[in-house]
C-alpha cells in the first residue's frame, strides 16, 4: 500500500552516535583554529618585542656615541648640554625598562644581581668621567694595572657587604670609578687594551679561556631578556666593526694610490679621512661599553664580573658578548640558580 499523501510524516531523529561525531569534529576544528590564532599572536608578540629591543638599543648606542664625542672633542659639544644629558638619560632608562621590565635596571636578575632593585649608573656622569680620564690618563700600562687592582680590592669588599640601599649605592659608586677608568683609557690609549688580553699576574698575552668565561656568564644570572639584549648588541657590534674595517681598507687603498700617482695633497687629505675612520672604532666600542654598564647589566652584575675576574684578568665587553653568543649557539639553558661569587680580588 502507498502512503496517504494527507498524512504528515514525523521527522526522523538523528542517530545519537552521528550527532556526537559531528560535535567532536566541530570542537576539534575550533581547537585547531584557536591554536593557530594563539601561535600567530605569540609570533607577533615576539616580533614586536624584538623590534622594540632593537630600536631602544640602537637609540641608546647613538646617543652614547654622540655624548662620548661631545665629552672628548670640544668642538663636538652641543649648544644645550643639559638637553643632551637628558636625552642620554632617557634613552638609557627606556632601554633598561625594555630589558629589565617596569622596575628598571635592578631587580629581575638573580645571582650576582642580588635579586633586589638597585640604582643604575648615571650615564651622563659616567661619560663625563670617561672624558676626564681621557684628558688625563695614566702614564702607562703598569700604572693602569696597579690602579685597576687597587680598585678591585676595594670593590671586592663592597660586593661582600650585606645588601641594602646603602650597599647598592656603594656598588654603583665602585662601578662608576672602575668603568670610567677602564673605558676612558681604552678610548684614548692603544696600550690600555693590553689589560683586556693579558694575564695581569704573569703579564703575558693570555686572555681568559672560553671555559672560564662560561663560568662567569653562568654566575651573572642573566635573565632571558638580558641575554636577548646582549645577543642583539653582539650582532650589531659585529656588523658595525666589519663595516668600519672595510672602510679603513678602502681609505688606506686610496691613500696608497694617490701617493703612488704623486698627488701628495690629495693623499694627505685621504690620510686625514683614514685617521678619522680609525678614530670611530674606539668610540663605537666605548658606546657599547656604556650601554652594557648603564642599561643591559645591573651594577651589581657588572661589578661582580670585574671582581670575579680579578686579580688575573680584566673582562672586556667584547669578550663578554662573544661568550654570551657561544653559549646561545651551544643551546645552553640559562641557569635556574646562578653560581655564587667564586673569586675575589687579592
Per-residue pLDDT tens digits for 251-295: 888 888 888 888 888 888 888 888 877 888 899 999 999 999 999
Nearest alpha-carbon partner for 178 in 149, 215, 216:
149
Residue 335: the pLDDT is 58
User: Is residue 287 in some structural domain?
Assistant: yes
| Best-predicted range by mean pLDDT (17-26, 49-58, 110-119, 330-339) | 49-58
User: Is residue 24 in some structural domain?
Assistant: no
Task: Please determine, for residue 1, whether its predicted confidence score (pLDDT) is greater than 60.
Answer: no
User: Is residue 275 in some structural domain?
Assistant: yes
CA–CA separation, 225 vs 230, rounded Å?
9
Residue 271 CA: distances (Å) to CA of 147, 257, 265: 36, 11, 10
pLDDT band at 17 (very low <50, low <70, confident <90, very high): low
Task: Please determine, for residue 310, whether its predicted confidence score (pLDDT) is greater than 90.
Answer: yes
- SS3 at position 289: helix
CA angle 161, 163, 167 (to 5 degrees): 70
Residue 283: the pLDDT is 92
User: Is residue 192 in some structural domain?
Assistant: yes
Task: Please determine, for residue 299, whether its predicted confidence score (pLDDT) is greater than 90.
Answer: yes
Task: Please determine, for residue 132, whether its predicted confidence score (pLDDT) is greater than 60.
Answer: yes
Question: 322 is in which domain, residue-wise?
Answer: 38-329
| Average pLDDT rounded to a whole number, residues 117-122 | 73
Task: Please determine, for residue 110, whether its predicted confidence score (pLDDT) is greater than 60.
Answer: no
- Mean pLDDT estimate for the chain: 84
Residue 288: the pLDDT is 96
Per-residue pLDDT tens digits for 164-209: 778 899 999 999 999 999 999 999 899 999 899 999 999 999 999 9
Ranges 52-56, 63-67, 75-79: which has the least confidence? 75-79
**Would you give the distance in Å from CA 177 to the centre of its chain?**
20
User: Are 56 and 95 in contact, with CB atoms under 8 Å apart?
Assistant: yes
pLDDT band at 111 (very low <50, low <70, confident <90, very high): very low
User: Is residue 3 in some structural domain?
Assistant: no
> What's the domain count of the chain?
1
Alpha helices per DSSP H over the chain: 16-72, 81-100, 123-135, 141-160, 165-188, 194-197, 210-220, 224-260, 264-291, 299-309, 317-329
CA–CA separation, 227 vs 262, rounded Å?
53
Residue 9: the pLDDT is 57
pLDDT band at 14 (very low <50, low <70, confident <90, very high): low
Per-residue pLDDT tens digits for 139-171: 899 999 999 999 999 999 999 988 777 889 999
User: Is residue 22 in some structural domain?
Assistant: no
State percent of the chain over pLDDT 70: 84
User: Is residue 95 in some structural domain?
Assistant: yes
User: Is residue 17 in some structural domain?
Assistant: no
Ranges 239-243, 289-293, 301-305, 336-340: which has the least confidence? 336-340
Task: Please determine, for residue 212, whether its predicted confidence score (pLDDT) is greater than 70.
Answer: yes
- SS3 at position 199: strand
CA–CA separation, 173 vs 325, rounded Å?
29
Amino acid at each position: 500500500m502507498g502512503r496517504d499523501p494527507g498524512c504528515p510524516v514525523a521527522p526522523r531523529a538523528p542517530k545519537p552516535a552521528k550527532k556526537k561525531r559531528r560535535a567532536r569534529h566541530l570542537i576539534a576544528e575550533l581547537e585547531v583554529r584557536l591554536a593557530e590564532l594563539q601561535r600567530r599572536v605569540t609570533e607577533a608578540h615576539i616580533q614586536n618585542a624584538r623590534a622594540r629591543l632593537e630600536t631602544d638599543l640602537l637609540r641608546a648606542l647613538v646617543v652614547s656615541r654622540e655624548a662620548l664625542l661631545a665629552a672628548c672633542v670640544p668642538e663636538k659639544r652641543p649648544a644645550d648640554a643639559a638637553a643632551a644629558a637628558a636625552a642620554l638619560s632617557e634613552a638609557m632608562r627606556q632601554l633598561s625598562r625594555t630589558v629589565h621590565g617596569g622596575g628598571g635596571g635592578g631587580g629581575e636578575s638573580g645571582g650576582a644581581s642580588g635579586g633586589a632593585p638597585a640604582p643604575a649608573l648615571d650615564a651622563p656622569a659616567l661619560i663625563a668621567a670617561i672624558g676626564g680620564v681621557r684628558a688625563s690618563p695614566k702614564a702607562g700600562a703598569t700604572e693602569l694595572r696597579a690602579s685597576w687592582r687597587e680598585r678591585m680590592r676595594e670593590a671586592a669588599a663592597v660586593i661582600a657587604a650585606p645588601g641594602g640601599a646603602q650597599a647598592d649605592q656603594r656598588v654603583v659608586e665602585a662601578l662608576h670609578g672602575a668603568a670610567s677608568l677602564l673605558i676612558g683609557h681604552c678610548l684614548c690609549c692603544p696600550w690600555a687594551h693590553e689589560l683586556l688580553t693579558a694575564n695581569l699576574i704573569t703579564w703575558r698575552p693570555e686572555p681568559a679561556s672560553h671555559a672560564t668565561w662560561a663560568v662567569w656568564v653562568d654566575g651573572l644570572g642573566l635573565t632571558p631578556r638580558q641575554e636577548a639584549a646582549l645577543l642583539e648588541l653582539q650582532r650589531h657590534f659585529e656588523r658595525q666593526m666589519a663595516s668600519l674595517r672595510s672602510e679603513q681598507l678602502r681609505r688606506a687603498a686610496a691613500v696608497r694610490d694617490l701617493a703612488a700617482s704623486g698627488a701628495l695633497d690629495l693623499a694627505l687629505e685621504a690620510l686625514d679621512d683614514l685617521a678619522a675612520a680609525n678614530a670611530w672604532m674606539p668610540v663605537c666600542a666605548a658606546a657599547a661599553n656604556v650601554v652594557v654598564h648603564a642599561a643591559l647589566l645591573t651594577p651589581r652584575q657588572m661589578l661582580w664580573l670585574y671582581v670575579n675576574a680579578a686579580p688575573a684578568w680584566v673582562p672586556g665587553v667584547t669578550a663578554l658578548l662573544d661568550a654570551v653568543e657561544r653559549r646561545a649557539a651551544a643551546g645552553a639553558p640559562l641557569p635556574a640558580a646562578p653560581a655564587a661569587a667564586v673569586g675575589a680580588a687579592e
